[in-house]
Structure 1
Amino acid sequence: MHTLILICVSLLALLVFVLGFMVSMARRKAGEGVAVHDDPTSPLLKAVRAHANSTEYIGAIAALFLVTGFVYQGRDLGLLASGLIIVLTAARFLHAFGMLTCKTLNAASPFRFVGALFTYLFGIGLALLLLVRLIF
Protein backbone atom coordinates (compact mmCIF):
# COMPACT_ATOMS: atom_id res chain seq x y z
CA MET A 1 0.00 0.00 0.00
CA HIS A 2 1.22 3.49 -0.76
CA THR A 3 2.70 5.41 2.16
CA LEU A 4 0.79 8.58 1.25
CA ILE A 5 -2.53 6.74 1.47
CA LEU A 6 -1.66 5.16 4.81
CA ILE A 7 -0.58 8.52 6.23
CA CYS A 8 -3.75 10.27 5.05
CA VAL A 9 -6.06 7.51 6.33
CA SER A 10 -4.25 7.63 9.68
CA LEU A 11 -4.57 11.42 9.86
CA LEU A 12 -8.29 11.25 9.09
CA ALA A 13 -8.83 8.58 11.75
CA LEU A 14 -6.86 10.71 14.20
CA LEU A 15 -9.13 13.66 13.36
CA VAL A 16 -12.26 11.64 14.20
CA PHE A 17 -10.84 10.46 17.53
CA VAL A 18 -9.51 13.89 18.53
CA LEU A 19 -12.85 15.49 17.69
CA GLY A 20 -14.62 12.80 19.70
CA PHE A 21 -12.35 13.53 22.66
CA MET A 22 -13.11 17.24 22.27
CA VAL A 23 -16.83 16.46 22.47
CA SER A 24 -16.26 14.56 25.71
CA MET A 25 -14.26 17.44 27.17
CA ALA A 26 -16.86 20.00 26.05
CA ARG A 27 -19.65 17.89 27.62
CA ARG A 28 -17.74 17.75 30.88
CA LYS A 29 -17.06 21.48 30.85
CA ALA A 30 -20.71 22.27 30.06
CA GLY A 31 -21.90 19.78 32.69
CA GLU A 32 -24.16 18.10 30.13
CA GLY A 33 -24.63 14.47 29.27
CA VAL A 34 -25.92 13.27 25.95
CA ALA A 35 -28.39 16.11 25.33
CA VAL A 36 -27.11 19.06 23.31
CA HIS A 37 -28.92 22.37 23.25
CA ASP A 38 -29.41 24.00 19.87
CA ASP A 39 -27.47 27.19 20.65
CA PRO A 40 -25.36 27.69 17.49
CA THR A 41 -22.70 29.55 19.48
CA SER A 42 -22.25 26.74 22.01
CA PRO A 43 -18.76 25.22 22.01
CA LEU A 44 -20.39 21.87 22.81
CA LEU A 45 -22.71 22.02 19.79
CA LYS A 46 -19.80 23.10 17.56
CA ALA A 47 -17.72 20.15 18.78
CA VAL A 48 -20.60 17.71 18.35
CA ARG A 49 -21.34 18.91 14.81
CA ALA A 50 -17.64 18.96 13.81
CA HIS A 51 -17.25 15.38 15.06
CA ALA A 52 -20.49 14.18 13.47
CA ASN A 53 -19.73 15.79 10.13
CA SER A 54 -16.21 14.38 10.07
CA THR A 55 -17.49 10.93 10.96
CA GLU A 56 -20.08 11.09 8.18
CA TYR A 57 -17.48 11.72 5.49
CA ILE A 58 -14.24 10.16 6.69
CA GLY A 59 -15.39 6.55 6.44
CA ALA A 60 -16.23 6.95 2.76
CA ILE A 61 -13.06 8.94 2.12
CA ALA A 62 -10.87 6.32 3.83
CA ALA A 63 -12.53 3.59 1.78
CA LEU A 64 -11.96 5.61 -1.38
CA PHE A 65 -8.30 6.05 -0.46
CA LEU A 66 -7.85 2.33 0.19
CA VAL A 67 -9.52 1.41 -3.10
CA THR A 68 -7.17 3.88 -4.78
CA GLY A 69 -4.28 2.00 -3.21
CA PHE A 70 -5.53 -1.26 -4.68
CA VAL A 71 -6.12 0.25 -8.13
CA TYR A 72 -2.61 1.72 -8.13
CA GLN A 73 -0.96 -1.29 -6.49
CA GLY A 74 2.55 -1.74 -7.80
CA ARG A 75 2.36 1.59 -9.67
CA ASP A 76 3.15 5.17 -8.81
CA LEU A 77 0.09 7.14 -7.71
CA GLY A 78 1.10 10.01 -9.91
CA LEU A 79 0.65 13.71 -9.31
CA LEU A 80 -3.10 13.79 -9.95
CA ALA A 81 -4.10 11.00 -7.55
CA SER A 82 -1.59 12.17 -4.93
CA GLY A 83 -2.85 15.74 -5.16
CA LEU A 84 -6.48 14.68 -4.85
CA ILE A 85 -5.69 12.60 -1.77
CA ILE A 86 -3.67 15.33 -0.07
CA VAL A 87 -6.18 18.11 -0.74
CA LEU A 88 -9.12 15.92 0.28
CA THR A 89 -7.40 15.13 3.57
CA ALA A 90 -6.58 18.80 4.17
CA ALA A 91 -10.17 19.76 3.32
CA ARG A 92 -11.56 17.65 6.16
CA PHE A 93 -9.18 19.31 8.64
CA LEU A 94 -10.06 22.74 7.26
CA HIS A 95 -13.78 22.03 7.58
CA ALA A 96 -13.44 20.83 11.18
CA PHE A 97 -11.32 23.88 12.03
CA GLY A 98 -13.98 26.13 10.53
CA MET A 99 -16.72 24.50 12.57
CA LEU A 100 -14.79 24.73 15.82
CA THR A 101 -13.64 28.33 15.40
CA CYS A 102 -16.70 30.03 13.92
CA LYS A 103 -18.64 32.49 16.06
CA THR A 104 -21.89 30.71 15.26
CA LEU A 105 -22.85 27.66 13.24
CA ASN A 106 -25.64 29.72 11.64
CA ALA A 107 -23.23 32.07 9.85
CA ALA A 108 -21.03 31.32 6.90
CA SER A 109 -17.42 30.50 7.68
CA PRO A 110 -14.75 30.64 4.96
CA PHE A 111 -12.90 27.66 6.42
CA ARG A 112 -16.06 25.57 6.58
CA PHE A 113 -17.08 26.61 3.09
CA VAL A 114 -13.72 25.85 1.47
CA GLY A 115 -13.38 22.61 3.44
CA ALA A 116 -16.82 21.43 2.33
CA LEU A 117 -16.36 22.58 -1.28
CA PHE A 118 -12.98 20.87 -1.59
CA THR A 119 -14.38 17.72 0.04
CA TYR A 120 -17.07 17.54 -2.63
CA LEU A 121 -14.89 18.52 -5.59
CA PHE A 122 -11.82 16.47 -4.76
CA GLY A 123 -13.84 13.50 -3.50
CA ILE A 124 -15.81 13.41 -6.75
CA GLY A 125 -12.56 13.93 -8.66
CA LEU A 126 -10.89 10.96 -7.00
CA ALA A 127 -13.94 8.75 -7.52
CA LEU A 128 -14.04 9.71 -11.22
CA LEU A 129 -10.29 9.11 -11.58
CA LEU A 130 -10.77 5.60 -10.18
CA LEU A 131 -13.64 4.93 -12.58
CA VAL A 132 -11.54 6.07 -15.53
CA ARG A 133 -8.59 3.94 -14.39
CA LEU A 134 -10.83 0.90 -14.01
CA ILE A 135 -12.56 1.36 -17.37
CA PHE A 136 -9.46 2.10 -19.40
Structure 2
Amino acid sequence: MSQLKVGDIVTGEVISTKPFGAFVKLGSGETGLIHISQISTKYVEKVEDELAVGVEVKAKVITIDPAGKISLSIKALSENAPQSRRGSDRRGSRKSPGDFEDMMKKWMKSSEERLSALAAKHKKNRS
Protein backbone atom coordinates (compact mmCIF):
# COMPACT_ATOMS: atom_id res chain seq x y z
CA MET A 1 0.00 0.00 0.00
CA SER A 2 1.25 3.45 -0.92
CA GLN A 3 2.55 5.84 1.73
CA LEU A 4 1.79 8.71 -0.65
CA LYS A 5 -1.17 10.97 -0.17
CA VAL A 6 -2.85 13.60 -2.30
CA GLY A 7 -0.97 16.89 -2.04
CA ASP A 8 2.48 15.31 -1.56
CA ILE A 9 5.33 16.76 -3.61
CA VAL A 10 7.41 13.99 -5.18
CA THR A 11 10.38 13.62 -7.50
CA GLY A 12 10.93 10.89 -10.00
CA GLU A 13 12.39 9.93 -13.33
CA VAL A 14 10.43 9.89 -16.58
CA ILE A 15 10.51 6.26 -17.72
CA SER A 16 8.28 6.54 -20.79
CA THR A 17 6.22 9.02 -22.77
CA LYS A 18 2.95 8.42 -24.55
CA PRO A 19 0.72 10.76 -26.57
CA PHE A 20 -1.45 11.27 -23.46
CA GLY A 21 1.29 11.85 -20.87
CA ALA A 22 4.46 10.65 -19.17
CA PHE A 23 5.03 7.79 -16.74
CA VAL A 24 7.30 8.63 -13.83
CA LYS A 25 9.14 6.19 -11.54
CA LEU A 26 8.96 7.69 -8.06
CA GLY A 27 11.53 7.36 -5.29
CA SER A 28 9.12 5.02 -3.50
CA GLY A 29 9.36 2.62 -6.44
CA GLU A 30 5.82 3.37 -7.54
CA THR A 31 4.89 4.70 -10.96
CA GLY A 32 2.73 7.75 -11.53
CA LEU A 33 1.28 9.40 -14.61
CA ILE A 34 1.54 13.05 -15.54
CA HIS A 35 -1.32 13.62 -17.99
CA ILE A 36 -0.43 15.93 -20.90
CA SER A 37 -2.83 18.54 -19.50
CA GLN A 38 -0.86 18.55 -16.22
CA ILE A 39 2.62 19.07 -17.68
CA SER A 40 2.54 22.84 -18.03
CA THR A 41 0.36 25.91 -17.60
CA LYS A 42 0.82 26.54 -21.32
CA TYR A 43 -0.58 24.40 -24.13
CA VAL A 44 1.45 21.23 -24.73
CA GLU A 45 1.02 19.77 -28.20
CA LYS A 46 3.40 16.82 -27.73
CA VAL A 47 4.63 15.34 -24.45
CA GLU A 48 8.10 14.98 -25.96
CA ASP A 49 8.27 18.77 -26.44
CA GLU A 50 8.39 19.14 -22.64
CA LEU A 51 9.60 15.85 -21.14
CA ALA A 52 12.10 13.18 -22.15
CA VAL A 53 12.88 9.71 -20.83
CA GLY A 54 15.53 9.93 -18.13
CA VAL A 55 14.67 13.46 -17.00
CA GLU A 56 14.04 13.99 -13.28
CA VAL A 57 10.82 15.84 -12.53
CA LYS A 58 9.16 17.28 -9.46
CA ALA A 59 5.37 16.98 -9.29
CA LYS A 60 2.40 17.09 -6.96
CA VAL A 61 0.20 14.05 -6.28
CA ILE A 62 -3.29 15.12 -7.40
CA THR A 63 -5.19 11.83 -7.13
CA ILE A 64 -4.70 8.25 -6.06
CA ASP A 65 -7.54 6.04 -7.23
CA PRO A 66 -8.79 2.96 -5.35
CA ALA A 67 -6.68 0.72 -7.61
CA GLY A 68 -3.57 2.66 -6.53
CA LYS A 69 -3.04 4.58 -9.79
CA ILE A 70 -1.19 7.80 -9.01
CA SER A 71 -1.91 10.98 -10.98
CA LEU A 72 0.75 13.67 -10.87
CA SER A 73 0.87 17.32 -11.90
CA ILE A 74 3.82 19.56 -12.65
CA LYS A 75 1.38 22.36 -13.46
CA ALA A 76 -0.03 22.29 -9.89
CA LEU A 77 3.39 23.29 -8.56
CA SER A 78 3.36 26.54 -10.49
CA GLU A 79 2.54 29.20 -7.91
CA ASN A 80 1.25 31.59 -10.53
CA ALA A 81 -0.77 29.03 -12.48
CA PRO A 82 -3.71 30.83 -14.08
CA GLN A 83 -7.03 29.73 -12.67
CA SER A 84 -9.18 27.98 -15.21
CA ARG A 85 -12.12 30.09 -16.33
CA ARG A 86 -13.83 27.24 -18.14
CA GLY A 87 -17.40 27.07 -16.92
CA SER A 88 -17.17 30.49 -15.25
CA ASP A 89 -18.77 33.78 -16.07
CA ARG A 90 -16.79 37.06 -16.29
CA ARG A 91 -16.97 37.53 -12.54
CA GLY A 92 -15.40 34.10 -12.01
CA SER A 93 -18.43 32.53 -10.35
CA ARG A 94 -19.35 28.99 -11.36
CA LYS A 95 -22.28 28.56 -13.69
CA SER A 96 -24.67 25.73 -13.22
CA PRO A 97 -25.34 23.29 -16.06
CA GLY A 98 -28.87 24.73 -16.20
CA ASP A 99 -27.45 28.12 -17.18
CA PHE A 100 -25.79 26.57 -20.23
CA GLU A 101 -29.02 24.80 -21.21
CA ASP A 102 -30.95 28.07 -20.90
CA MET A 103 -28.38 29.84 -23.07
CA MET A 104 -28.65 27.09 -25.70
CA LYS A 105 -32.47 27.27 -25.72
CA LYS A 106 -32.33 31.05 -26.21
CA TRP A 107 -29.76 30.68 -28.98
CA MET A 108 -31.82 27.98 -30.73
CA LYS A 109 -34.99 30.10 -30.55
CA SER A 110 -33.14 33.15 -31.89
CA SER A 111 -31.55 31.08 -34.63
CA GLU A 112 -34.88 29.58 -35.69
CA GLU A 113 -36.45 33.07 -35.80
CA ARG A 114 -33.63 34.36 -38.00
CA LEU A 115 -33.91 31.36 -40.33
CA SER A 116 -37.67 31.84 -40.62
CA ALA A 117 -37.21 35.53 -41.42
CA LEU A 118 -34.59 34.71 -44.08
CA ALA A 119 -36.83 32.02 -45.61
CA ALA A 120 -39.76 34.43 -45.76
CA LYS A 121 -37.61 37.12 -47.34
CA HIS A 122 -36.26 34.63 -49.88
CA LYS A 123 -39.76 33.41 -50.73
CA LYS A 124 -40.97 37.01 -51.14
CA ASN A 125 -38.07 37.87 -53.45
CA ARG A 126 -38.73 34.81 -55.65
CA SER A 127 -42.36 35.69 -56.30
- TM class by shorter chain equals under 0.3
Answer 1 or 2: which has greater helix percent: 1
Answer 1 or 2: which has greater strand percent: 2
TM-score (norm 1): 0.26
Higher-Rg member (1/2): 2
**Structure with more contact order per residue of length (Cα contacts < 8 Å, sep ≥ 6):** 1
